[in-house]
Copies of this chain bind each other. A is one copy, B any other.
């Protein structure tokens, strides 16, 4: 086993989640990531905790979702409602998470397009049914990380070995130093009111973050981490955004997303490619039409786009906004936390012709922060 896999497992156990004796741990990852799961079982055993090992198989999920969708079609014939009836919250899975302390999820399937032939409406209906499970899982100490497989290397346009180096370099960062670097941006945002983001000809959006909390992500819930993030005040978002980085959703690449917000709500949208996947997202529930997160990437060690949100959104010259559920810990008592079964991050490249303004002050220009060398 590559020694970096054991190091990865130790970072997850000690830095990201703090696994302790007697705790119940869920380890959920696809079979291609088994070596990381083996290393995690070793660490979990060493710390005196108890593992349950779920196989996050996209092939199995696809088979289930398609079969259930077919089934509902034969039973009913009244359009969208059929999907609502087709799924129920799996109470055994819910019970598993209720009794757990820590959840470790790794991506790393063989084929990122595995769910590309599941209808977006089916996925949306399934997500609605799974929302209580997701909510329970997110209430635990959790970590989402990546195992470098050939499928994800291919997505990034990299050799498998180069991608392994990329992933483990990103995972093995000096997280204390990263935390301090990011704290400078947290300080700017905490207590601030208006954030305005402009990029190129098409992006100019303004939102309030007044009363909400900005969190510093240094490799805990996401590994790699490397962003600061908060929640926009639900109805405050106004303007237009051109998300110029593609995103993968259900195995399909959505390109060139354009969204117009009015009083916080997505009033119109388009995509240059696979717009129907976006329809599925926005039709999931009303909360999917509002922003749940504003995130600012600050990890300079992630130096290229790999079409994987876990990495791309952390890049030092990007911002991302997520439609759907807000993180409750970001939302102040006076404000409404946006609720949704969705949480879909989309990225704006801020490297050129871009500024972030906070309460009228420019805090990032063309990807360089005000507290970094080279800011003009």
Contacts and interface: CB of A to CB of B under 8 A. Distances in A.
The A contact surface, by secondary structure, is helix
A45 B22 contact: no
Interface in A123-138: none
A5 to B, nearest CB: 11
A100 B95 CA distance: 10
Given A24-B92, A52-B54, A54-B55, A46 B70 contact: yes
A45 B63 contact: yes
A37 interface: yes
Nearest to A35: B59
A91 interface: yes
A37 B52 contact: no
Nearest to A43: B67
B64 A42 contact: yes
Contacts of A98: 95
Copies in the complex: 2
Contact of A54 (B44, B48, B54, B67): B54
A51 B22 CA distance: 27
A225 to B, nearest CB: 26
Contacts of A56: 53
Interface residues of A, number: 49
Contacts of A96: 52, 92-93, 95-96
Given A46-B67, A66-B45, A99-B95, A54 B53 contact: yes
Nearest to A87: B50
A53 to B, nearest CB: 5
Nearest to A29: B55
A38 interface: yes
Given A45-B71, A52-B92, A39 B24 contact: no
A330 to B, nearest CB: 28
A82 to B, nearest CB: 13
A72 B68 CA distance: 46
A329 B70 CA distance: 39
A55 B53 CA distance: 6
A258 interface: no
A66 B43 CA distance: 10
Given A39-B63, A45-B68, A64-B44, A52 B100 contact: no
A306 to B, nearest CB: 25
Nearest to A93: B52
Q: With a 10 A CB-CB cut-off, give which of A52, A64, A93 has the most chain B CB atoms.
A: A64
A95 B50 CA distance: 13
A57 B70 contact: no
A90 interface: yes
Contact of A60 (B38, B70, B71, B95): B38
11 contacts: A24-B90, A24-B91, A31-B31, A34-B55, A39-B63, A43-B67, A50-B92, A52-B96, A53-B57, A55-B55, A95-B95
Given A24-B91, A24-B92, 4 more contacts: A34-B59, A52-B92, A52-B96, A55-B55
Q: Which 4 A-B pairs have the closest CB atoms?
A: A45-B67, A31-B31, A55-B55, A92-B99
